[in-house]
Structure 1
Amino acid sequence: MRITYGPWGETLAELVEAARAAEDAGAEAVWLPELHRSATVPAAAVAAGTRRAQVGTAIALAFARSPMTTALEALDLAELSGGRFVLGLGTGVKRLNEDWHGVRWERPAARLRETVAIIRHFAAHAASGEPMTVEGELASLRVRGYRRPFPATPFPVYLAGTGPVMTRLAGDVADGWISHELCSPGWLREGALPLLRPGMDIVVSAACSIDDDPAEARRRAAGVAGFYASVRTYADFFAFHDLAAERNAVAEAFRAGARADGLAAAVPDRMVDALTLSGTAGQVADRIADYAGHATTIKLTPPVHGLAPAEIRTAQARIIDLIKELA
């Protein structure tokens, strides 16, 4: 199982420094999310600041950019990284797309399938100068009189998925699958692997919090679980773990006015233990081993929701130390 990392930085310079430290510790890939920053600009900074590790987006929002823009950015990042770039895409949820980004939310799985087809077609043919046409119901490409006058560096396309529809789509069309940041071994085995195909890169995302005091590790990770428990889309995921009542309590706190990144107090230890890798370094290493034989890659990320920068730095340093031991 490959050990990989999702770096954090209060500045882009610190983000690159963290990515480089993870690479030096033995991380085989570093991944950049799209929430507090864009995905592609930090990926460019990290690609320029690292040497060996793959650089991936985990995930870039598929509908917030046109498929052609996504393809152009992926081609540039593949070139900049010397072929180390992985384009990880996801849909996000309805509220994020419509309210935050002002883009329509219609048949997201079908639209993502067509988006991937356009990205791949454009990347393969943009340098030829020939017309490019991909007709879809929800996404299309019709380009004439265009030629990208640079060599094309290929890149794989990974898709994120939590529910069965998106996970099955990843199994149908993607080179790899990226799990939600909360992904237990049980969910991986029962909810995802039956829908994925052999030979894919199976990337398990794991919110990770390490401290000599397990209670302190749980406290830091609670905000991550609370953030996602406030999103109704993930209700089935929490119910799978027998956490429906606990999720409802968190959602009620959110509806009562708590910030999405301020829900840690509403999260019980049972939820943290089920959905995150929290505890001492030895306990977390044992939890990582539970994915062996099922995942091909694990992506460790520090908790950030509701934490001050100093606490995130501490959490990040402990994860990078663990990567060094595991690698």
Structure 2
Amino acid sequence: MRITFGPWGETLGEVADAARAAEDAGAEVVWVPELHRSATVGAAALAQATSTTGVGTAIALAFTRSPMVTALEALDLDELSGGRFVLGLGTGVQRLNEDWHHVTWGKPVTHLRETVRNIRAFWAGCTSGEPIALDGDHEPMQIRGYRRPYPVLRTDIPVYLAAMGPAMTRLAGEIGDGWISHELISPDYLRDLILPELEAGLARGDRPRDALDVVTSACCSVDADPQVARRRSAGMVGFYASVRTYADFFAFHDLADEQAAVVEAFRAGRGAGDLAHAVADRMVDALTLSGTRDDVAERLAAYDGITDSIKLTPPTHGLSAAETRAAQKELIALIADLTGASGTGALR
């Protein structure tokens, strides 16, 4: 099971420092999200800050850039990193696409399939000068008179897809080089609901299981006091629990009543990032890796054999920068323990 990491920082410089420390601690990939920063700009900063670890987007929004722009940025990031880049894509939700970015939503599974097809076709043909002609319901691509005059380091940059719903998860299995979860997921949910859909997608694409890197994301909080660790993670759980579309997810874990309490607090006027007080410890224990180093190592062991990679991220929701910084420092030290890396993973 590969250990990977999602660094945090108030500035891009701090994110880069955290990525270097995680690389030193043995993390095999460092990932950057897209919401409060651009995923591709963040990936560029990490590519220059590191030298051996992979650099991935987890995730870049798939529909807010054209496939050609995404393909160009990926080629540039792969060059900048010396062939270490991983393009992680996700659809985002309908309201974000339509209201924030003025993007037509349509059928997201078909839209993402065409987007990935176009990106790969562009990588394969952009230096030849030959036309690219692709039909599509969402992303037709007609390119003539174009030839990229610069060398392409790789035409097979890995493409990972973020998914939780069954149809999108099957698509990840069918066409993706990897699948990425959101930050809350349990071994049982992964085994019982996600892996069967991924396997169905692999079968549809006539692909072997080892063609797909299953990346389980996990909010991880480590402290000598397990209650301190739990309370740091509670805000992340509250953020997801405030979304009614995750009702089936919480019900699967026998947490429907606990989610209802969070939703009630949200409707009473508490912000989505300020719901930790409404989150029971039982929710945190079921859905995050929180506790002492020994606690977290034991919880991590439950994923061994059912996921290929684990992406550890520090808690952020409802926390001050100082609290997140402290949580991240403990988490990077844990990674060094888990990997047995010769580096300390110490943050400057």
The interval holding the TM-score normalised by the smaller chain is over 0.9
Counterparts of 2:263 and 2:67, CA distance in 1: 34
Instruction: Note closer, same or farther for the CA distance 1:100–1:247 as it changes in structure 2 (3 Å cut).
Output: farther
| Equivalent residue number for residue 192 of structure 1 | 194
Letter in 2 for 1:181: E
How do residues 211-250 of structure 1 correspond to structure 2 at under 5 angstroms? 211-250=223-262
2:317 counterpart SS class: coil
TM-superposition CA deviations, 1:149-189 (whole Å, max 9, x none): 11112211000111111111100110011111111101110
| Amino acid across the alignment from 1:121 | A
Q: Displacement, 1:64?
A: 1.3
Give the superposition deviation at 1:123.
1.1
Q: Which amino acid aligns with 2:233?
A: A
Match of 1:88 in 2: 88
- Corresponding residue of 1:183: 185
- TM-superposed deviation, 1:97: 1.7
Match of 1:159 among 158, 161, 165: 161
| Identity between Structure 1 and Structure 2 (%) | 67
> Aligned letter for 1:164?
P
Aligned amino acid, residue 43 of structure 1:
A
Whole-Å separation in 2 of the counterparts to 1:180 and 1:223: 15
Whole-angstrom CA distance in 1 between matches of 2:318 and 2:142: 45
Tell me the equivalent position of 1:294: 306
Any idea what SS the aligned residue of 2:142 has?
A: strand
CA 1:259–1:251 in 2, change beyond 3 Å: closer, same or farther? same
SS in 2 for 1:78: helix
Map of 1:139 onto structure 2: 139
Q: CA deviation at 1:44?
A: 0.3
Report how far residue 245 of structure 1 moved.
2.2
Q: CA separation in 1, counterparts of 2:282 and 2:246?
A: 17
- Which deviates more, 92-101 or 191-200? 92-101
Superimposed CA distance per residue, residues 59-112 of structure 1 (whole angstroms, 9 cap, x where no aligned partner): 111111111111111111011111100000011112222222222221111111
Shift of 1:114: 0.7
Q: Which amino acid counterpart does residue 15 of structure 1 have in structure 2?
A: V
Instruction: Tell me what 2:98 maps to.
Output: 98
Pairwise CA distance, 1:263: 1.0
Distance 1:244 1:163 in 2: 19
Q: Are 1:73 and 2:81 an aligned pair?
A: no
Q: Which amino acid aligns with 1:14?
A: E
User: Quick one: distance in 2 between partners of 1:233 and 1:151?
Assistant: 45
Could you state the TM-score of these two structures normalised by the residue count of structure 2? 0.92
Structure 2 residue ranges without an equivalent (≥5): 203-208, 340-348
Q: Deviations over 1:231-273 (max 9, x none)?
A: 2332221121112222222123222221111111111111111
Let me know the Cα RMSD of the aligned residues: 1.0
Structure 1 contact 93–233 (Cα < 8 Å) conserved? no
The question of 1:55 aligning with 2:55 is answered yes
Q: How many residues are aligned here?
A: 327
Which residue does 1:269 correspond to in 2? 281
Q: 1:94 to 1:233 in 2, by over 3 A?
A: farther
Give distance in 2, aligned partners of 1:23 and 1:73: 23
Aligned residue in 2 for 1:116: 116
Q: Secondary structure in 2 aligned to 1:225? A: helix
Give SS of 1:312's match: helix
Moved over 6 A (4+): none
TM-score of the aligned structures, taking structure 1 as reference length: 0.98
Indicate whether 1:304 and 2:316 are aligned.
Answer: yes
Q: Which amino acid aligns with 2:182?
A: H
Q: Match of 1:168, as an amino acid?
A: R
Distance in 2 of aligned mates of 1:235 and 1:124: 42
2:26 match: 26
Match of 1:255 in 2: 267
SS at structure 2 position matched to 1:100: helix
> What's the secondary structure of 2:238's corresponding residue?
helix
* 2:289 counterpart letter in structure 1: L
- The SS at the match of 1:294 is coil
CA contact (8 A) 1:223 1:263 kept: yes
* Contact 1:134/1:141, CA 8 A, preserved across alignment: yes
Residue 203 of structure 1 pairs with residue 215 of structure 2: yes
In structure 2, the residue matched to 1:315 is 327
Q: What is the SS of the residue equivalent to 1:3?
A: strand
CA distance in 1 between partners of 2:133 and 2:291 (Å)? 52
CA change 1:229–1:100 in 2 (3 A) is farther
d(CA) in 2 for partners of 1:240 and 1:250? 17
Find the counterpart in structure 2 of residue 172 from structure 1.
174
1:229 counterpart letter in structure 2: A
Gapped runs of 5+ residues in structure 1? none
